[in-house]
Amino acid sequence: MSELNEKVQKALKYLRGMESTAGEKGYYVCYSGGKDSDTIRVLCELAGVKHELHHNHTTADAPETVYHVRSIPNIIIHYPKLTMWQLIVKKGFPPTRLTRYCCEYLKEHGGEGRFKVMGVRKAESPRRNERYDLISVIGGKAQALQVMADNLDCAYRVTKEGLVMHKDDGAARMFIEQCYRTENVHTSLNPIVDWTDEEVWKFLKYYGVDVNPLYEQGACRVGCIGCPLAGGKQMKREFARFPKYRQIYVQTFDRMIAASKENGKFRQTGTWQTGEDVMRWWCGDDPRQITLYDYELIELSAVREEDLADIYKEDTE
């Protein structure tokens, strides 16, 4: 039996084994529109477990992602009260690597009181390697640890944000049943947490899954356009690919500056006078050295086909 087949069988075992703890509605499957989300979606179908597919519309996803999500049968799409653009104006500054309020508000909500299934994988980043395992409990650390001490007798690891377990057994089920409905606690089953990129692609190819078309265009990630986690070079490449989104961001930054001046919170730094100033700073450029025309020279049509893979290569390491 191949290593991938073994991981598939384990994932199916986990999903079936923990289903009884998921309540009447079944699992709350977090679906983003990426390859990992498609993998857990298919695994839930293969396992025959009761589940619901939920997608949080960020308002900053690429059109290809939006259309792909809408093509999924029975998908439940949640729309935010505030768009990305309204959120930036309200906060008074753009999201950054260290202050990703957009993720918290637009993506990492929903499923309260539900047992989630997520497509997170350790291979994606050092942070996810620390934060997630087969079963992850984020938030409510004090309550979770108290239940752990009173009722649980299995291997676990404490993190800065909660705790994680790498075993699916009776003790783990007892823990989940008592904790995942706790206020401010987000408990998830992560069936592909130890899968590699190659294994995800092999799985999807084997089952003939239609994935987000952005991958066929060379993308390695399909998150929000302009995500600061991608790095300045990637951000500018994405804005070259989607110039209308760049225009919307700049207009939003203009409104952000105007709103900050009105409420007296604007800082006269000498650099953030216009939305273009903010955009250049956001992408890691010195606004005193780069002009608006530099951005206008970037045209996707000028990019050679062999360079497409590099355009969307994630540079977060």
Q: What is the pTM of this model?
A: 0.78
Q: What is the mean pLDDT of residues 78-85?
A: 93
Q: How confident is the model at residue 316 (pLDDT cuts 50, 70, 90)?
A: very low
Lowest-pLDDT choice from 68-72, 78-82, 163-167, 209-213: 163-167
Lowest-pLDDT choice from 74-88, 221-235, 244-258, 295-309: 295-309
- State how far the Cα of 118 lies from the Cα of 187, in Å rounded to an integer: 10
CA distances to 254, 268, 280 from 273, rounded to whole Å, are: 9, 8, 12
- Higher-confidence residue: 267 or 290? 267
Q: Is the pLDDT of residue 190 over 60?
A: yes
- pLDDT over 70, % of the chain: 68
Q: CB–CB of 80/88 below 8 Å?
A: no
What does pLDDT average to over the chain? 78
pLDDT digits (tens, 9 = 90+) for 262-275: 877 665 445 678 99
Q: Is the pLDDT of residue 298 over 50?
A: no
Lowest-pLDDT choice from 3-12, 135-144, 181-190, 289-298: 289-298
Q: Is the pLDDT of residue 100 over 60?
A: yes
Q: Tell me, which fold does domain 3-132+190-206 have in CATH?
A: Rossmann fold (3.40.50)
Q: Is the pLDDT of residue 38 over 70?
A: yes
> 160, 154, 199, 187: which is closest to 43 by C-alpha?
199
- Segments making up each domain of the chain, as ranges: 3-132+190-206, 225-311
pLDDT digits (tens, 9 = 90+) for 108-164: 778 887 889 999 887 775 565 555 566 766 666 565 555 555 555 555 555 555 555
pLDDT digits (tens, 9 = 90+) for 39-76: 999 999 999 999 999 999 999 999 999 999 999 999 99
Complete edge-to-edge strand list for the sheet that includes strand 135-138: 75-78, 51-56, 27-30, 116-117, 186-189, 135-138, 162-165, 156-158
Per-residue pLDDT at 108: 77
Per-residue pLDDT at 173: 52
Per-residue pLDDT at 315: 34
Q: Is the pLDDT of residue 306 over 50?
A: no
